[in-house]
Structure 1
Amino acid sequence: MIFLSVVFTLLGLSTLLLRDDDLLGLPPAVVGSGLVVLGVAAGVLWVVRRRRRWERNGEPRPVGNVFDRAKALPRLLRERKAYGLPTTTPATWAFAALYLVSPIDLLPELLPLIGVTDDAGVAVWLLTSVSTVTGQYLRWERSGKARKPSEQRHREP
């Protein structure tokens, strides 16, 4: 959902800024504005659905601001076994970071606008994933590191 949000917003902005002639019989301002609105709406919907899923599943919400989470990332990686972080999570983060800096892409940057969207989608996913996991790690750390996150979710009140 967040990927669609980024794609629609980028396409809308590029249409507003770069397009002069009509698209499908509509002025570029109308098409671009519509795509930006769709992109923002998809992003808002994604945030709302995510918060509802946290509440429904009883998952703890992440804590800390961006700087707290950035400072917690090295501690999370050092204590990943005690925290219960699967090995696949940091491996996926590393693969995503490698994809972002690699000159090889699924959609080459030579394609106007579309070539950037795959990198933007991967970057948004990577930042969101790291931010969420480090925020949950901070909550776990502040609670005294008593239980693993999987045990916290399923405990009885």
Structure 2
Amino acid sequence: MHVNSERQHWLSVLARCTLHDLQHHWNELTKSEADLSNLPYRFLRKAETGLVMVRGRAGGDGQQFNLGEVSVTRCTVCLDSDHIGYAYIRGRDHKKAELVAVLDALLQTNRWSQKIRDTFVAPLASAQQKTRQNRKSQIATSKVDFFTMVRGEDA
């Protein structure tokens, strides 16, 4: 995987999980790694919430249209090692945005990258994949195929 696509993957996984899941994994990690419990970082941009226009396409590939607005929170932090972490999450959870930004910065370091991938990204991505598969299988059971029968006199 290319560096940018790896980063896109972990940011996507972290942004889609709940604050509860993030805090649970963070607490587990800080129990074993005392260095992270008081991790020094500074805000380049404190968490702030705004609105973003969501666009859609008719039929998935038709003409674009404005679907509506969604709340988004962003945050930017800088570690003492000068690694910068960004977070853009759907919703208004400032604490989650801050934690995602810190994790993004840590994932760019040589020291913490693999540990955080193993502790956060891999299990959360696996859980999200299971949820998607369960949702797909539930939807598949209710799928209705419409077809037209031709009557004899129409032929």
Greater relative contact order: 1 or 2 (C-alpha under 8 angstroms, separation 6 or more)?
A: 1
Larger helix percent: 1
Larger strand percent: 2
Task: Report the TM-score, using the length of structure 2 for normalisation.
Answer: 0.30
Task: Report the TM-score, using the length of structure 1 for normalisation.
Answer: 0.30
